Amino acid sequence: MVSAITKAAAAATERRPGGFIALRWLFLVACTVLAFWNTIVAVVEEMRAQTLIVYVPVLIILCVIAAVGVSWRRVDEPPIYDRQTDVIVGMVVLILALAMKSLVNPRYTRSYLTTHMDLLALWLFVLGAAILVFGLRPVARYRWVWLLFLLVFPVPMRAVLLSMGGTSLAAGFILVLVAMAATAIAVGTGRSTKRSRRWSPEPSGWSCWALST
């Protein structure tokens, strides 16, 4: 039954790939907003107070730009997708996100403005939901984007900022470094892919037979 549904969904996606991908992203964003509505409201209130958390929207935009750059990369990989593995890994990550939000975050109530453990739970939730919706292999293809999006957890940013003096100039310099990393992810992967396609020889008949077996 599951295999039949998976095949039907794959056939529909092949007919209209862009529309189904957009619907999946809308579903993922809607689930994230519903699950972390309190966190989003708290972040908006802190942004109005002009705290360090104002970098979060900029980080999200940079992650989107980096993801678009990675999506332009043409990846030649075997069409092997194990939905059971996707479900297992995705559910484990979602359980970690739930534990982070409901168990760990309340323990840091007094230092909530500094730690924001719920933002780390949000990152885990988006990662697990993406694995369930898109699959483990496509999510792993954007691994550097996910690593960049991990900076939504503000503790490393605060530590670096304080070590550099905590001034607005240091905050701007850190954002420039993050923007450089996003540009390297978006542009650098495309260059390496073109180079590999240019110099990689065509597979021989023996190698195709070995891969098929």
CA distance 109 to 111: 5
Q: At what angle do helices 189-199 and 55-71 cross, to 10 degrees?
A: 10
Average pLDDT, consecutive stretches of 10 residues, N- to C-terminus, the chain (213 residues): 46 56 91 94 92 91 93 71 88 96 90 90 96 92 95 92 89 93 82 41 35 34
The one-character DSSP state at 166 is: S
Output the pLDDT for position 109. 85
CA distance 54 to 161: 14
Output the pLDDT for position 32. 95
pTM for this model (two decimals): 0.78
- C-beta atoms surrounding 51 within 10 Å: 13
CA distance 23 to 106: 33
Output the pLDDT for position 113. 85
Output the pLDDT for position 58. 94
